[in-house]
Structure 1
Amino acid sequence: MTTPTPAPSSRPSSGPSPGPSALPVPDAGLLRFVRGPLDGKVRERLARAVPAEFFSHPGGLSARERQELTYRRLARAGREAPPARELLADPPALCALLERAAVADPALFHVMLLHYTLALGPILRFGAGQPGVAGAREDLESLRSFGTLLMTEAGRSNSHLSPRTTARFDAAAREFVLDTPDAAAAKFPTNSAHPDVPKVAAVYATLVHQGREQGVFVFVVPLRGLDGSVPAGVSIVAAPETSGLQVDYAAVRLSGVRVPYDAWLRDGASLAADGSLVDPAGGAAARLTRSMGIAPAVWRAVISAMAAVTRASAGLLLAHSAGRVTLGRLAPQRPLTDYRNQREAVLGALASAYALTAVAGHVQARRIDADLPPGAGGGAWAPWSAVDRDLALFKVSATGRAQEAVSLCRLHSGAPGFAAVDRLNGYRQLAHAYTNAGGDNELILFDTARAMAEGDRYAPPQVAGAVPAGGDFLDPRVWLHLAGDLERRLGDRLTAGVAEAARAGAEPFAVWNDRLALGAAAAGAFADRAELAVVAEAVEAGPAVMRPLLGLYALDWMERRAGLLLDTGVAGPGLIAGVWEARRRLSDELGPRAAALAAALDPPTELTAPISFITAP
Structure 2
Amino acid sequence: MGTVPPPDPVLLRLVRGAGLTAKTRSRLEEAVPGEFFGYPDGLTIRDRHALTYDRLRRAGLAAPPAPELLDDPPALCALLERAAMADPGLFHVMLLHYTLALGPILLFGSEQEGLRAARDSLESMESFGALLMTEVGRSNSHLAPRTLARYDAATREFVLTTPDDEAVKFPTNTAHPDIPKIGAVYATVEHGGRERGVFVFAVPVRGPGGAVPAGVEIVPAPDTTGLMVDYAAVRLSGLRVPYEAWLRDGATIGPDGQFHDPLGDPAARLTRSMSIGPPVWRAVISMSAAITRSAAGILHAHAADRVTLGRLAPLRPLTDYRNVREAVLESLASAYALTVVAAHVKQPRDGAGQAGGPATAWAPWSAVDRDLALLKAATTMEAQETVSRCRVLSGAPGFAATDRLNGYRGLAHAYMNAGGDNELILFDTARAMADLDRYEPPVVAGAVPDGGDLSSPRVWVHLARDCELRLQRRLAGRVAAARADGRDGFEAWNDNLSLAVRTATACADRTMLEILAAACEPEPGSEPASAAGAAGTLRPLLGLHALGWLERRAGVLLDEGVAEPGLLERVWERRGALCDELAGDAAALAAAFELPSEVTAPTAFVGQG
TM-score (structure 1 length as normaliser): 0.95
Whole-angstrom CA distance in 1 between matches of 2:456 and 2:291: 28
Matched with 1:547 is 539
Whole-angstrom CA distance in 2 between matches of 1:480 and 1:392: 21
Matched with 2:2 is 21
The runs of 5 or more residues in structure 2 that have no matched partner are 523-533
Matched with 2:561 is 569
Q: Secondary structure at the match of 1:178?
A: strand
For residue 571 of structure 1, report the CA deviation from its aligned partner: 0.5
Q: Secondary structure at the match of 1:236?
A: strand
Whole-angstrom CA distance in 2 between matches of 1:441 and 1:21: 43
Whole-angstrom CA distance in 1 between matches of 2:229 and 2:95: 13
1:200-227, Cα deviation, whole Å (9 max, x unpaired) = 0000000011111111000011011112
Whole-angstrom CA distance in 2 between matches of 1:377 and 1:222: 34
Is residue 588 of structure 1 aligned with residue 588 of structure 2? no
Q: Secondary structure at the match of 2:218?
A: strand
Asked whether the 8 Å contact 1:120–1:147 carries over to 2, the reply is yes
Residue 194 of structure 2, aligned match among 199, 207, 212: 212
Matched with 1:231 is 213
Is residue 192 of structure 1 aligned with residue 184 of structure 2? no
Is residue 446 of structure 1 aligned with residue 438 of structure 2? no
Residue 305 of structure 1, aligned match among 265, 287, 300: 287
Is residue 33 of structure 1 aligned with residue 25 of structure 2? no
Residue 239 of structure 2, aligned match among 257, 264, 268: 257
Letter in 2 for 1:477: R
Residue 480 of structure 2, aligned match among 492, 499, 504: 499
1:294-337, Cα deviation, whole Å (9 max, x unpaired) = 01000000000110000011111000000000011111111000
Matched with 1:136 is 118
Is residue 330 of structure 1 aligned with residue 328 of structure 2? no
Letter in 1 for 2:391: R
For residue 22 of structure 1, report the CA deviation from its aligned partner: 2.1
For residue 589 of structure 1, report the CA deviation from its aligned partner: 0.2
Number of aligned residues:
597
Matched with 1:345 is 327
Whole-angstrom CA distance in 2 between matches of 1:45 and 1:613: 33
Residue 519 of structure 1, aligned match among 500, 506, 510: 500
For residue 274 of structure 1, report the CA deviation from its aligned partner: 3.0
Whole-angstrom CA distance in 2 between matches of 1:263 and 1:367: 31
Whole-angstrom CA distance in 1 between matches of 2:72 and 2:150: 36
Whole-angstrom CA distance in 2 between matches of 1:234 and 1:377: 37
Matched with 1:383 is 364
For residue 545 of structure 1, report the CA deviation from its aligned partner: 2.6
Letter in 2 for 1:600: A
Task: Say if 1:553 and 1:615 are closer, same or farther in 2 by CA, change over 3 A.
Answer: farther
Identity across matched positions, percent = 66
Is residue 429 of structure 1 aligned with residue 410 of structure 2? yes
Letter in 2 for 1:174: R
Runs of 4+ in structure 1 deviating by more than 6 angstroms, as ranges, are: none
Task: Say if 1:122 and 1:369 are closer, same or farther in 2 by CA, change over 3 A.
Answer: farther
Is residue 508 of structure 1 aligned with residue 489 of structure 2? yes
Q: Secondary structure at the match of 2:237?
A: strand
Whole-angstrom CA distance in 1 between matches of 2:512 and 2:358: 26
Matched with 1:599 is 591
Is residue 483 of structure 1 aligned with residue 464 of structure 2? yes
For residue 510 of structure 1, report the CA deviation from its aligned partner: 0.2
Task: Say if 1:368 and 1:174 are closer, same or farther in 2 by CA, change over 3 A.
Answer: farther
Task: Say if 1:44 and 1:428 are closer, same or farther in 2 by CA, change over 3 A.
Answer: same
Asked whether the 8 Å contact 2:358–2:432 carries over to 1, the reply is no
Matched with 2:442 is 461
Letter in 2 for 1:316: I
Letter in 2 for 1:42: T
Q: Secondary structure at the match of 1:607?
A: helix
Is residue 276 of structure 1 aligned with residue 258 of structure 2? yes
The runs of 5 or more residues in structure 1 that have no matched partner are 1-19
Task: Say if 1:140 and 1:369 are closer, same or farther in 2 by CA, change over 3 A.
Answer: farther
Task: Say if 1:112 and 1:613 are closer, same or farther in 2 by CA, change over 3 A.
Answer: farther
Is residue 418 of structure 1 aligned with residue 399 of structure 2? yes
Matched with 1:152 is 134
Q: Secondary structure at the match of 1:328?
A: coil
Give me the CA root mean square deviation: 1.4
Task: Say if 1:406 and 1:47 are closer, same or farther in 2 by CA, change over 3 A.
Answer: same
Higher normalized contact order (CA 8 Å, seq sep 6+, divided by chain length): 1
Is residue 354 of structure 1 aligned with residue 336 of structure 2? yes
Task: Say if 1:572 and 1:127 are closer, same or farther in 2 by CA, change over 3 A.
Answer: same
